[in-house]
Amino acid sequence: RKEVEQDPGPFNVPEGATVAFNCTYSNSASQSFFWYRQDCRKEPKLLMSVYSSGNEDGRFTAQLNRASQYISLLIRDSKLSDSATYLCVSLTGFQKLVFGTGTRLLVSP
Amino acid sequence: DAGVIQSPRHEVTEMGQEVTLRCKLISGHNSLFWYRQTMMRGLELLIYFNNNVPIDDSGMPEDRFSAKMPNASFSTLKIQPSEPRDSAVYFCASSLPSGGPQDTQYFGPGTRLTVL
């Protein structure tokens, strides 16, 4: 079993839709969590950090549930430019990031 | 400011050949990470350095892989001999850890390796 698991998708949604991704993690010692975004044939880039209290950055909301060991990302009012793969990431130990295999999002006109 | 620089961007080689991938950190950063990404396994950490010292190499698949950091701004990942199953995208990332949990890793554009 992978340490961080995600539904690979793809999630196909129309512009303006709200879409949510979840991921689960198995290492209860994981300290912090992040969502990275990766465009096709590009490098991953940090989208946002995830806090237990939940955090919001514009149209993006991230939430952490430590009791159930899952992380979520909500995207409101989807744009065509949101089409990408979203990587769920946990931090274990000193700077050691563990990546999920990613959830692919396709936003269509 | 220049980001993380990797070379070559694409490499096609034949099984058994030696492959050397190169990475230049962002100026002022002191942690460097080598990752490998494949469709089946996703993005996996191979090895990381802090202040030129290897901290964790538990992700290095086998003895055919070796990584060095000869100075504070440059690193190489060598595969010798290469095998078709080594075909993947290899990313280098750097960061400047401040001791907190939110230190961001900045990724280079990657090297797409194909071993025939």
pLDDT tens string A21-72:
999 999 888 888 999 999 999 999 999 988 777 889 999 999 999 999 999 9
Residue A23's pLDDT is 95
**Contact: B101, A91; criterion CB under 8 Å:** yes
- With an 8 Å Cβ cutoff, the interface of chain A facing chain B consists of 2, 31-32, 42-46, 49, 87, 91, 93-102
Q: Which among B71, B73, B70 has a CA at the least distance from the CA of B27? A: B73
Report the C-alpha dihedral over residues A42, A48, A52, A54, rounded to 10 degrees. -120
Beta strands B111-115 and B10-13, pairing class:
parallel
Question: CA end-to-end span of chain A, whole Å?
Answer: 37
Kindly tell me the burial class for residue B77, based on how many C-beta atoms sit within 10 Å of its own C-beta (0-12, 13-18, 19 or more).
buried
Confidence of residue B62 (pLDDT cuts 50, 70, 90): confident
For residue B50, what is the enclosing H or E element? strand B42-50
Residue B32 has pLDDT above 80, yes or no: yes
Residue B100's pLDDT is 56
Using CB atoms, pick whichever of B31, B42, B105 lies closest to residue A100.
B42
Calculate the average pLDDT of chain B.
92
Interface of B with A in 6-35 (CB under 8 A): 31, 33
Residue B74 has pLDDT above 90, yes or no: yes
Residues 6+ apart with CB under 8 A from A102: A6, A8, A38, A85, A86, A87, A88, B42
Residue B101's pLDDT is 52
**What is the rounded distance in angstroms from the CA atom of residue B13 to the CA atom of residue A102?**
28
Using CB atoms, pick whichever of B42, B101, B110 lies closest to residue A43.
B110
Q: Is B58 on the interface with A (CB under 8 A)?
A: no
Structure tokens at B28: 């002022």
Using CB atoms, pick whichever of B31, B43, B101 lies closest to residue A31.
B101
Q: Is B42 on the interface with A (CB under 8 A)?
A: yes
Residue B4's pLDDT is 96
Residues 6+ apart with CB under 8 A from B53: none
Which chain B residues contact residue A101 at CB under 8 A? 41-43
User: What is the mean predicted confidence (pLDDT) over B69-97?
Assistant: 94
The residues pairing with B62 across neighbouring beta strands, listed in sequence order, are none
The residues pairing with A33 across neighbouring beta strands, listed in sequence order, are A50, A90
